[in-house]
Amino acid sequence: MKNIKLSLLLLATLTVMSAATIMASLPMISKEFSDIDDIILLSKLMLTLPALFIAILAPFSGALIDRYGRLKSLYFGLALFVIGGTSGIYLNNFWLLLAGRALLGVGVAFVMTASTTLIGDYFEGEARNKFMGLQGAFTAIGGVFFVGGGGLLADIDWRGPFYIYFVPLLFLPLLLKSLYEPKKHHHEEHITPKVFSLQLMVIYITAFLLMIIIYLLPTQMPFLIIDGMGGKPSSVAMIVAFAMSISALTAVNYSKFKRHLSFGSIFGMNFLLLSIGLYLISQATTFPLFFLGAGFTGSGMGLMMVNINSWMLAHAPKSIRGKVTGFTVSAIFLGQFASPLSFEIIIKNLGLQGLFYLVSINLLVIAIMIFTLKLYQRLRA
């Protein structure tokens, strides 16, 4: 069981690697291809285009996983992940670079859906909550290493971070030795399960909206620090890696929070922490204040992603767990893709720090609404 856990935790690190690894290279990529119109916006798509293809393919990958098995889909996804991820090393055309990022997204769709479904298959109840916390921590730890390493490599050359996408090849021996195909569930539910029940639809929509907010950090922060404050790619990487470190600390303690709080109450706490973090970033004129804001933001992010997946697995019928996981993954990454596009008008009118300020105020209002509703429910009970 230890090797199974380690295998799934290593796969969790690929979530951050899929996009944020090249985050620090974005400003240099925009300069490398400066002859292309709107290259700054298009360069942000280097980060988020994989998310669009994950969003499109994840529901289909979920259906294939339920039909043909978890492991075949997982290894197929890993192959596409490495091929698409490393394409930035040898491609010289910007549009081909985007195509490589799209292929990466297809691979991630299969890897994430299969690995999350396996967690639902291998674990139940409190054991699942504890493991989900560990998964969230490893996702954040992966961010520390891969984002930090990507920033250091980007200081050397903008292609440097793309070499990190070879890392999954190191995981293969352990994965092949440890993971096994679970027995199929033959619709033991008393009623025909639905992928689009009201409860699951709420989960999908919540995941989508939360990721739009969370992805403010990797898509907008590099331009705020490098273009606005004259920082280096490594400065961006260090700040985001710090946020990921705090995220890991909070995620690993998720099961302790879950024993005392509902899914909704944890979301309220997430919104409050994100609000504080984004407000501090909106007021930052020095790097220490950026670090402080990133710390609060990271603490909110750490619990939030674990909470979404735990919420989903707690309500996903076993016989269609792959499909439900696929739609949740789709919602998460559709939110990532939509994030930079959603805020472009606000940035043009208020600037980047104005955007962070506006979002922080809205998140504070949502947090207050959630806490008020929970207090009302408790008083009525």
pTM for this entry: 0.77
Q: Which amino acid is it at 59?
A: P
CA distance 181 to 122: 10
Interhelix angle for 168-178 vs 70-85, to 10°? 170
Helices (H), the chain: 2-20, 26-32, 39-68, 70-85, 94-122, 125-156, 168-178, 198-214, 216-229, 233-251, 254-260, 263-283, 287-315, 321-342, 344-380
Query: What is the pLDDT, as a whole number, of residue 162?
Result: 92
Tens digit of each residue's pLDDT, the chain (381 residues): 788 999 999 998 887 777 678 877 888 888 888 888 888 878 878 877 887 888 888 888 888 888 888 899 999 999 999 999 999 898 889 999 999 999 999 998 899 889 988 988 888 878 888 888 888 888 777 777 787 788 788 888 888 989 999 999 999 999 999 998 887 655 454 556 788 888 889 889 988 988 888 888 877 877 788 877 777 777 877 887 788 888 888 888 888 888 888 888 999 998 999 999 999 999 988 888 889 999 999 888 888 888 998 888 888 887 788 888 889 988 988 887 788 888 888 988 998 889 999 999 999 999 999 999 888 888 876
Query: What is the pLDDT, as a whole number, of residue 217?
Result: 80
Query: What is the pLDDT, as a whole number, of residue 190?
Result: 53
CA distance 280 to 274: 10
What domains, with CATH codes, occur in the chain?
A: 2-177+196-380 (1.20.1250.20)
Q: Which two tokens stand for residue 297?
A: 């933001």
CA distance 125 to 259: 11
Q: In terms of Cα–Cα distance, which of 20, 21, 19, 28 is closest to 227?
A: 28
CA distance 351 to 369: 28
CA distance 333 to 351: 25
- Give, in order, the Cα–Cα distances in Å from 117 to each of 57, 106, 320: 15, 17, 10
Query: What is the pLDDT, as a whole number, of residue 192?
Result: 65
Answer whether 144's CB lies under 8 Å from 241's CB: yes
Q: Which amino acid is it at 176?
A: L
Sign of the Cα pseudo-torsion (179, 164, 339, 60, in order): negative
Q: Where on the phi/psi map is residue 179: left (φ > 0), alpha (ψ -120 to 50), or beta?
A: beta
Query: What is the pLDDT, as a whole number, of residue 41?
Result: 78
- Give, in order, the Cα–Cα distances in Å from 34 to each of 20, 150, 221, 345: 22, 22, 20, 22
Q: Which two tokens stand for residue 179?
A: 């993971």
